[in-house]
Amino acid sequence: MSSGLAVIDLVAHLYNGSGDERRELAKIWDGYSAASEAERKKPGFELVRIKHQALSRMFRDDPDGDSLDLDDLRLMWEEFVDALRDASGVADVPAETSDADDHAPDSYQALEAPVMKRNPSFASLCQELSNHCSPEGSNRGIKRVSSKGTLFGVGASSRDPSLRGASALGKPLSSAVESAEVAAALFKLEKAT
């Protein structure tokens, strides 16, 4: 992998490039899709399948980049990698043993690095993207879209323990509503009508 770059940087480089570069991205993605088909059929990979289908449609149905922008790509990529991280069991690895320790917790590298280590098909995809974008290890011309960190403040698709604070579904409500408060609000509403 090119030093200092996250995988999203390579994907965005090809996605924002010429028609030839977009076709190359679609070709690389199709190769990954074929190689990971059996994996996506496993139990626990349901969300990965959904996010994979969405990315496949992005790469196939918007070949000129007219409909979707870079933030759409970043968001979908982040959701895909996060789902793959959870399905691959990377979320269960304690933070102190993670390969992402030398990256900010909200960085793409912190999200992607453990998945590359744990998931061979994703690691292969990352290597192929890297080989295509920077065949001699040069980062020249590749814009770092990952420099501002991930888009999610709170992981919408994550389960505990998540890099971004886990699922909102698993957390208790911040302010519990008492039944007396509900009854009082209903009484006021009934009285007003």
Tens of pLDDT, residues 85-125:
888 876 555 554 444 456 666 677 877 888 888 889 999 99
Q: Is 166 helix (H, G, I), strand (E, B) or coil?
A: coil
Q: What is the pLDDT of residues 48-96, one digit of tens each?
A: 999 999 999 888 877 666 777 888 888 888 889 988 988 887 655 555 4
pLDDT of residue 33: 95
Higher pLDDT, 185 or 45: 45
Alpha-carbon gap, residue 27 to 59, rounded angstroms: 9
Q: Is the pLDDT of residue 25 over 80?
A: yes
Alpha-carbon gap, residue 67 to 80, rounded angstroms: 20
Model-wide pTM > 0.75: no
Alpha-carbon gap, residue 172 to 158, rounded angstroms: 16
pLDDT of residue 71: 81
Mean pLDDT, the chain, whole residue set? 75
**Nearest of 44, 29, 41 to residue 76 by alpha carbon:** 29
